[in-house]
Amino acid sequence: MAWVIHRLYGAFLVMLTVTVSVFFLVHLVPGNPVDVMLGESASVADRQAMTVALGLHLPVHEQLFHYLHNLVNLDLGLSIHSNQPIAEIMAERLPATFGLALAAMFFALILALPLGIIAAVKKDSFLDRLAMVTAVGGLAIPNFLLGPLLVLFFSIWLSWLPVSGHDSWLHYFLPAMTLGFSMAAVLTRMIRSTLLETLGEDYIRTAWSKGLSPGKIIWSHALRNAWLPVVTVIGAQVGALLGGAVVTETIFDWPGIGSLLIDSIQKRDYPVLQACVLVISFVYVVVNALTDMLYAWLDPRVRYQ
Amino acid sequence: MIPILLLSGCSDKQEIDQEAIRFAIATMPQNLDPRFATDAVSERINQLLYARLVNFDESLLPRPGIADWQQLDSLTYVFDLKPDRMSFANGEPVTAVDVVATYEFVLDKNNVSPHRQSLSVIESVDAIAGDRVEFKLKFPDPLFPAYLQLGIMPAGIAGQKQIAVENLVSSGTFSLVSKKQGRVVIKRRSDDQVVVFEQVKDPTVRVLKLLNGEVDLMQNDLAPEMMAYLKKQNGIKNLRRKGQNFSYIGFNLEDNDTSKHRLRKAIAHAINREEIIRYVFQSSASPAESILPSSHWAGHQELNGYAYKPELSRRTLQELGYDFNNPLRLVYKTSTDPFRIKLATVIQNQLKAVGIELEIKSYDWGTFFGDIKSGNFQMYSLSWVGINTPDIFKYVFHSKSLPPDGANRGRYKSSRLDNLLDQAQKATSLEQQKLLFHQVQEIVHSDLPYIPLWYEDQVAFAAEDIHGYKLSPNGNYLSLNDIRRSKTH
């Protein structure tokens, strides 16, 4: 219980710091929403009227106070541009982001698990090298290149998958592969190195000497202990995915938090921008907490003070 | 995968049938309420959704839209709604009351419409019969009919400050079906042909979607090399037409260096526009000499361009005290658009050849435009898009049009030009105005607050079974009124 309270307190501090920092930062950026909304031809009087209507005439600290006050009442406010409640906008965007993150994670795991295990078990073999080349390739190819290459191959040459959009389950494949490939690369290397380390332990040697089957040794003994660092990496990666994959969302016109964040920066839609950052930091905090809990479940020796 | 499949259920695909024509656009329209829309995509889609009192012909002279007009005196115009005009999409007729309600909303300063300023010449607007609207002006302005570009909305909702998208009622040739994430669906009222505007931000993905048959049509916002690639593809049609969107290099005339007229002239002579058009644009642009193209009713046909004369530029720079050991150093600001940066790099290279060290600074749009408006620049490049009326010259070059009162971003001041612009505003006929605006263009061309660069062509690519789409010089989408898919599809 004390641990949960401690984590909640930490999460609250992180989110408050992020919210306040972003609030001041966005107000320092040149350009303002009134210019974007009214265009250059609006009169000074109209410009002033719009500034007052949006509450931008108030000192920044007063604007921050109003914002935090509304936040405490669970009111994220309205988008300056569309006048739509931001909670509604987030509700539209979050499922797409969560869906893509899940799909990317799924793809990364089904690729990284066999590759990492084969690479560790068949160390220094052709298969090991092939797995490592794939992993290095995954890390080296940026998403803005991998995405169009996958489109070219799967959509244009093979005509198997749609190029972009968000209409059906088929639309998940290419963005998930694009996002998941680099994650798979990290996981493959991590699984290989931690498994190699575990396979060299005395208790594994004992298991071999007792004549246990290779499958039993790897799955039941080695892999379970190799999971801890892998889970840490997965936690960090999932946090990043849920925080919005800006490049991938742009390439595949994915209506998630990442593309909303970019749009809100371009339009100087301050409340939406702040809400995006708040949601992203919240997701990070939650995923980190869940990762810690998973740690304790995977390794009963781990206990929190 | 089950949660993923569940999440994928949230789409509006069911609204879009196989016969729908899918039009890929780079940016979503910001506002489909014509009283507030300002961006180009919104304006283009709103032209389809809402009828206007006045339209333009090919030379951009104002022509009757849903109303014919008469000028009763210099301050009074009467508009008679045409008997064969379309009704609203809800079946109600478009009446003078609707016109008045729409214009009164925009003119009310409490509503902070971005169009109020352009209609500030209007003193009053009244419905004087069921089909007749009278506009009274504050001062004579022969360009007045051309300003009446507002889409007409029903009086019942035109007075509301906020109208939800689903409550918008169209008066144009198309009705609005839906506007959701990255997609606007409209339906042609004459035959129920559905047109879907789909946002595809990345130009490469737009091209791939067209090749894959996921979209049927795309227009502009493509790098020339992409255009060249698409032209070679089977099953894709290429449409092209000379454009009117004017690109230029702007100078800060309060800067120590760029305020020198001879220096600006030296820069103009150092830029090889023909080469840029041929190689960078792959001939998909034409040289420009003025904001208004020569095909415009007030356009000037006899302005001679600044020819590429690097020797003359070098000599002028030497006379101004610069040489390769003491080069002129200037900063050129542009956006983060890769093609604009590429153009800036070519210009940088051409200026280097005459001894000018050009530093390119690219910023996101908000920062870039903020700098330009506040005069925080030496040189920048931008385009004027969708210019219909010659009063743009007053807005851009009059000494009283410094931001925020206008777009004289370079702080250009010429009493001679101010006088001509003031005279043009008071002129009683378009013919008089035309002569005055010709003189205005000659002075601007000679003083060089802008270096005129080019008009980029309007370019579209369409699937082979798409017919009836024609490009307009200003890139509007009005030809969607005639578009169709061939029956063999």
Tell me if chain A has a CB within 8 Å of the CB of B110.
Answer: yes
What pLDDT is stored for residue A82 in this prediction?
Answer: 76
At B488, the pLDDT band (50, 70, 90 cuts) reads low
Residue B7 has pLDDT above 50, yes or no: no
8 A C-beta contact, residue B159 and residue B125: no
Q: For B374-378, what is the mean pLDDT?
A: 94
Q: Is the pTM of this model over 0.90?
A: no
Rounded Cα gap, residues A50 and A182, in angstroms:
45
B152-173 pLDDT tens trace:
999 999 999 888 888 999 999 9
Residue B248 has pLDDT above 90, yes or no: yes
Rounded Cα gap, residues B456 and B222, in angstroms:
11
Q: Is the dihedral of CA B160, A57, A275, A66 positive or negative?
A: negative
Residue B451 has pLDDT above 90, yes or no: yes
Q: Is the dihedral of CA B256, B258, B262, B267 positive or negative?
A: positive
What pLDDT is stored for residue A285 in this prediction?
Answer: 82
Length of chain B (residues): 489
Distance from CA of A53 to the nearest CA of B (A): 9
Residue with tokens 């690219």: B362
Rounded Cα gap, residues A268 and B56, in angstroms:
34
Distance from CA of B7 to the nearest CA of A (A): 6
B340-355 pLDDT tens trace:
999 999 999 999 999 9
Q: Which site among B201, B214, B233 would you substitute to test the A interface, given the most A Cβ atoms closer than 10 Å to its Cβ? A: B201
Rounded Cα gap, residues A281 and B98, in angstroms:
48
8 A C-beta contact, residue B298 and residue B390: yes
Of B11, B202, B211, the CB nearest to A156: B211
Tell me if chain B has a CB within 8 Å of the CB of A4.
Answer: no
- Going by C-alpha positions, the residue among B228, B164, B212, B218 that lies closest to residue B196 is B218
Rounded Cα gap, residues B226 and A149, in angstroms:
16
Round the average pLDDT of chain B to a whole number and report it: 92
Q: How far apart are the first and last CA of chain B?
A: 34
Rounded Cα gap, residues B400 and B396, in angstroms:
10
Contact yes or no for A163 and B214 at CB 8 A? yes
Tell me if chain B has a CB within 8 Å of the CB of A88.
Answer: no
Tell me if chain B has a CB within 8 Å of the CB of A156.
Answer: yes
Tell me if chain A has a CB within 8 Å of the CB of B366.
Answer: yes
Residue in chain A nearest B204 by alpha carbon: A148
Strands laid side by side in the B21-25 sheet:
B174-180, B183-188, B194-199, B21-25, B217-219, B458-463, B236-241
B298-338 pLDDT tens trace:
999 999 999 999 999 999 999 999 988 889 999 999 999 88
Single-letter residue type at B260: K
Distance from CA of A5 to the nearest CA of B (A): 31
Q: How far apart are the first and last CA of chain A?
A: 10
Chunked in runs of 10, what are the mean pLDDT values of chain A (305 residues)? Answer: 76 85 82 75 79 85 88 85 84 90 92 91 90 87 91 92 90 94 90 89 89 85 80 79 79 89 84 88 82 75 60
Rounded Cα gap, residues A60 and A164, in angstroms:
40
Rounded Cα gap, residues A96 and A99, in angstroms:
5
Using DSSP, state whether A73 is helix, strand or coil: coil
Rounded Cα gap, residues A84 and B426, in angstroms:
44
Tell me if chain A has a CB within 8 Å of the CB of B365.
Answer: yes
Residue B9 has pLDDT above 80, yes or no: no
Of A53, A102, A266, the CB nearest to B3: A102
Q: What is the DSSP string of A155-194?
A: IIIS--S-SS-SSSGGGGHHHHHHHHHHHHHHHHHHHHHH
B474: which 2 tokens?
């200003």
Task: Give the start-end residues of each E strand in B308-355.
Answer: 328-335
Q: Bigger pLDDT: B77 or B130?
A: B77
* CA-angle at A64, arms to A60 and A68, nearest 5°: 175
Single-letter residue type at A158: L
> For residue B128, how many C-alpha atoms fall within 13 Å in the half-sphere facing its CB?
12
Using DSSP, state whether B342 is helix, strand or coil: helix
Q: Bigger pLDDT: A34 or B444?
A: B444
B124-146 pLDDT tens trace:
999 998 899 999 999 999 899 99
Rounded Cα gap, residues A89 and A77, in angstroms:
11
Residue B458 φ/ψ, nearest 5 degrees: -85, 125
The ipTM, to two decimals, is 0.74
What pLDDT is stored for residue A235 in this prediction?
Answer: 81
Burial profile B221-251: b = 16 or more Cβ within 10 angstroms, e = fewer? bbbbebbeebeeeeebbebeeebbbbbbbbb
Q: For B272-288, what is the mean pLDDT?
A: 94
User: Percent of chain B, pLDDT > 70?
Assistant: 96
For residue B194, the cross-strand partners are: B187
At B16, the pLDDT band (50, 70, 90 cuts) reads low
Residue in chain B nearest A45 by alpha carbon: B109
- Going by C-alpha positions, the residue among B89, B234, B219 that lies closest to residue B483 is B219
B175-225 pLDDT tens trace:
999 988 789 999 999 999 999 999 998 898 999 999 999 999 999 989 888
Looking only at the bridges linking them, the beta strands covering B328-335 and B217-219 are: unpaired
A274: which 2 tokens?
């702040």
Looking only at the bridges linking them, the beta strands covering B217-219 and B458-463 are: antiparallel
- Going by C-alpha positions, the residue among A53, A245, A229, A68 that lies closest to residue A146 is A245
